[in-house]
Each structure stands twice: as C-alpha cells, then as structure tokens.
Amino acid sequence: VQLQASGGGLVQAGGSLNLSCVVAGGTFNFMPMAWHRQAAGKQRELVAFISSVGSTIKYEDSVKGRFFISRDAAKKTVYLRMNSLQAEDTAVYFCNAIYSDSDLRYDWWGQGTLVTVSS
C-alpha cells in the first residue's frame, strides 16, 4: 500500500486548503483513514479520522467545525478540507491508512505535506 499526499502550501491566517491523499494498492473500501499532523518540536497528533464506509468521523477538538474529512471510493482518495486556518495549524500533515482486525493492526503512512499558515 502506498499513500501519496498533496495539497499543502503557504496560506494566510483565515484561509483554506484542501489536502488529498491517493491510495495505491490494498483494498481502499475496507480501510479506515486518518490525517495526522506534526508541528516542529511536537509529537504527531491525530487530526481527523474516517471509517472505511464513512459512517464514523472524528476530529481533534481544536479543528472541529473548521476541518472536514471525506473519502471518494472511486478515486481511492481521502481529503481534508481545512477552513479558517490558524498559525497553530502549521505542521506537516500525514495521511494514514489502517488495517485492523481482532488480532492485528497495521498502519501505512504517506510522505507528508507541509502546511504553513502565516499570521
């Protein structure tokens, strides 16, 4: 399984960005997906999660109401729409594909895309 993230860049505070992550290999429709971020000097944190069929969506508290995760099975792509961006959102954003069952969990990671929000 390979993940290719894109869409990062430089944006002014209050602006918006759309991140995309294309999944190659694996069975996309059976994979929960997530976006994480890691700011300089900080630990990686979960930003948003979407279940394999999109019925369950979760967000980190600081992005609720501003970020929206979605997925397109036909394009094998997961998206993160980020609105009202703040300087605190500056980080490298990673997409994450998950395989899990009762005995095993495995995670695949994309290469990361840098989001820089200028204040």
In the predicted model, what is the mean pLDDT of residues 87-110?
94
Average pLDDT, integer, range 13-19: 98
Q: What is the pLDDT of residue 100?
A: 86
Beta strands in the chain (DSSP E): 2-6, 9-12, 17-24, 33-38, 45-50, 57-59, 67-72, 77-82, 91-100, 105-109, 113-118
Q: Determine the straight-line distance between the first and last CA of the chain, rounded to whole angstroms.
A: 37
Top-confidence residue, 45 or 100: 45
CA separation for the pair 16, 52 (Å, rounded): 26
Q: What is the mean pLDDT of the chain?
A: 96
Q: Which of 4, 1, 5, 17 is nearest to 116 (CA)?
A: 17
pLDDT of residue 101 exceeding 90: no
Mean pLDDT of 26-46: 96
Q: Half-sphere exposure of residue 7, counting CA atoms within 13 Å on the CB side?
A: 20
